[in-house]
C-alpha cells in the first residue's frame, strides 16, 4: 500500500495542481493525505472542496496552527502508518507528476525497507540553466544551506554517507520510521530531511537514490510566502542545530567560533549594507534562537535581537 502525503499552507493553487496530476495516474492504487497547516479560510476551503469531489482516495487533515514541514508531515505519517501503509511518499505541494508516476515509482522501489530519494526536475539557477534533475542533497558542514546534487556519479566515495533524500520527494518504508523515528519537529522548516536521512543510516536503514520517475518541482514556491528574512532565520538556527547533532567532533568544537563569526559578519553588513539590514538581523536572530534553545515555529512578528 502506497500513501502520498503533502502539506498545504496558503497555497491551494499549487496543492490542487499536484492533486490534479495525481488524478491522471494510470495506476490508481494509492492513497493521498493532505495536511492543511492553518491556512486562511478561503485557501483551506478550496482544498477541502477538491478533496470532497476528487476521484482518488484522498483525505484532508486540518491543523489549527502551523506545524511546519516536519510537524505537518508527521501528522500524515502517523495516520498513514495507522492505516497500514507500507511506503509513505513525502511530496511537496508545489510539485506535479506525470501520468505514469505511481506505476513507475512502485517498480523502482526496493523490496526491503529503505529511504528512497526521488529525482526532482527543478528550475535552473539565475544563470538561465533551464530545468535540471536533482537526485539528492549533500551535507556540507558549517554551511547555512545544503546544495542539491545533479550528478551523483561524479561524487567520490567519501561523499556517499553525506548524501540525503530531499524532503520534496522522498519515499520511506514504514520500517524505516520504526527504526529512525519521525521527522524532528525542532527544525520546523529546513534541514529536517537531511537530519532524517542521517538518523536512518545510523539506525541501519539504507538510503538510496533512484534515477526515475521524477517529480516536477517549483522550487520554494510555498516557503517564499513566509518572507525572505524569516527563512534566513530558520536557516541560521537550524544549520547550527543540525551541525551540533550530526557533525564530527571538529565541527562541534568549531560551532561557537562559526556562530561568533556569523554575528560579526552580519554586524558589519548592518553598517555597510543598510538595504540588507532585515536579512542580517534575521540571521543574527537565528543564531541567538539556537543558543536560547528556541526551536520549532518562529512567529513572523517574533522579536529579533534588535527589536523588543
% of the chain with per-residue pLDDT over 70:
92
SS3 letters for 84-142? CCCEEEEECCCEECCCCHHHHHHHHCCCCCEEEECCEEEECCCCCCCEEEECEEECCCC
Q: What is the pLDDT of residue 239?
A: 98
Whole-angstrom distance, CA of residue 182 vs CA of residue 92: 17
Using CB atoms within 10 A of its CB, is residue 264 exposed (0-12), middle (13-18) or buried (19+)?
exposed
Cell numbers representing residue 206 in the block: 539504507
pTM, 2 dp: 0.92
Q: What is the pLDDT of residue 153?
A: 84
pLDDT tens for 133-152 read 999 999 999 999 999 999 98
- Is 182's pLDDT higher than 60? yes
pLDDT the model gives residue 170: 98
pLDDT tens digits for range 211-265 = 999 999 875 544 454 458 999 999 999 999 999 999 999 999 999 999 999 999 9
Chain centroid, CA 3 distance in Å: 17
CA atoms within 13 A on the CB side of 150: 9
DSSP secondary structure letters along 223-242:
GGGG-HHHHHHHHHHHHHHH
Q: How far does the chain reach from its first CA to its final CA, in angstroms? A: 51
List all residues 6 or more positions away from 75 whose beta carbon is below 8 Å from its beta carbon.
35, 61, 63, 67
Does residue 305 register a pLDDT over 50?
no
What are the tens digits of pLDDT across the range 62-119?
A: 999 999 999 999 999 999 999 999 999 999 999 999 999 999 999 999 999 999 999 9
As a whole number of angstroms, the distance between CA 297 and CA 188 comes to: 6
Q: Judge whether residue 166 has pLDDT over 70.
A: yes
Residues facing 207 on adjacent strands: 115
The number of helices, as runs of H, and strands, as runs of E, in the chain is: 9, 14
Amino acid at each position: 500500500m502506497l500513501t502520498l502525503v503533502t502539506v498545504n499552507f496558503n497555497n491551494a493553487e499549487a496543492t490542487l495542481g499536484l492533486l490534479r496530476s495525481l488524478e491522471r495516474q494510470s495506476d490508481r492504487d494509492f492513497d493521498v493525505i493532505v495536511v492543511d497547516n492553518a491556512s486562511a479560510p478561503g485557501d483551506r476551503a478550496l482544498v477541502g472542496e477538491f478533496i470532497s469531489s476528487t476521484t482518488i482516495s484522498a483525505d484532508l487533515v486540518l491543523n489549527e496552527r502551523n506545524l511546519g514541514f516536519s510537524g505537518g508531515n508527521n501528522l500524515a505519517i502517523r495516520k498513514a502508518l495507522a492505516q497500514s501503509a507500507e511506503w509513505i511518499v513525502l511530496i511537496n505541494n508545489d510539485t506535479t507528476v506525470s501520468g505514469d508516476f505511481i506505476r513507475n515509482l512502485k517498480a523502482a522501489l526496493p523490496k526491503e525497507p529503505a529511504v528512497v530519494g526521488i529525482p526532482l526536475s527543478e528550475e535552473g539557477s539565475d544563470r538561465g540553466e533551464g530545468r535540471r534533475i536533482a537526485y539528492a542533497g549533500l551535507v556540507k558542514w558549517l554551511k547555512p544551506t545544503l546544495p542539491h546534487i545533479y550528478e551523483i556519479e561524479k561524487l567520490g566515495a567519501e561523499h556517499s554517507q553525506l548524501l540525503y533524500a530531499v524532503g520534496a520527494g522522498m519515499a520511506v518504508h514504514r520500517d524505516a520510521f520504526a527504526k529512525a523515528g519521525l521527522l524532528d519537529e525542532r527544525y520546523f522548516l529546513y534541514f529536517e530531511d537531511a537530519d532524517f536521512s542521517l538518523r536512518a543510516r545510523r539506525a541501519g536503514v539504507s538510503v538510496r537514490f533512484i534515477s526515475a520517475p521524477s517529480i516536477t518541482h517549483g522550487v520554494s514556491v510555498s516557503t517564499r510566502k513566509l518572507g525572505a528574512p524569516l527563512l534566513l532565520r530558520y536557516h541560521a538556527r537550524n544549520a547550527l542545530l543540525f551541525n551540533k547533532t550530526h557533525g564530527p567532533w571538529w565541527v562541534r568544537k568549531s560551532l561557537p567560533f562559526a556562530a561568533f563569526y556569523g554575528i560579526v559578519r552580519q554586524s558589519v553588513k548592518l553598517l555597510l549594507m543598510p538595504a540588507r539590514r532585515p536579512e542580517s538581523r534575521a540571521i543574527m536572530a537565528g543564531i541567538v534562537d539556537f543558543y536560547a534553545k528556541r526551536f520549532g515555529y518562529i512567529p513572523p512578528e517574533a522579536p529579533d535581537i534588535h527589536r523588543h
